[in-house]
Amino acid sequence: MNESKLMTRSQVSEELLKRGYTKNEYPGVWDTPDGGKAAWFIAAKREGLDFDRKSWGPEITKAKQEWREKKKSGRAI
């Protein structure tokens, strides 16, 4: 992979799966190949995977947009 091009979050997740990590029942938690647990971003760091921190999936992008709209309208807590 070209070092100058960062991976997306989805690509990092795919790479973690290839390296033996599995998704846990809790969001953002992954089971490590040695039987432990790690947060997604910690697993990525352990594996030396760097990602574009501005890349989000469609669900998160939509949620962030809805939050911004709520803040503008004064409905946000």
pLDDT in tens, 59-76: 777 777 888 888 888 765
Distant-in-sequence, close-in-space partners of 72: CB < 8 Å, separation ≥ 6: none
Place of tokens 């709209």: 69
Look up residue 24 and give its two tokens. Answer: 């846990």
pLDDT at 1: 46
DSSP code, position 51: B
Q: Residue 13's CB: how many other CB atoms inside 10 A? A: 20
Q: What is the mean pLDDT of residues 55-60?
A: 71
Report the percentage of the chain scoring pLDDT > 70.
88
pLDDT digits (tens, 9 = 90+) for 37-54: 999 989 999 999 988 877
Take residue 35 and report the two structure tokens written for it. 């039987």
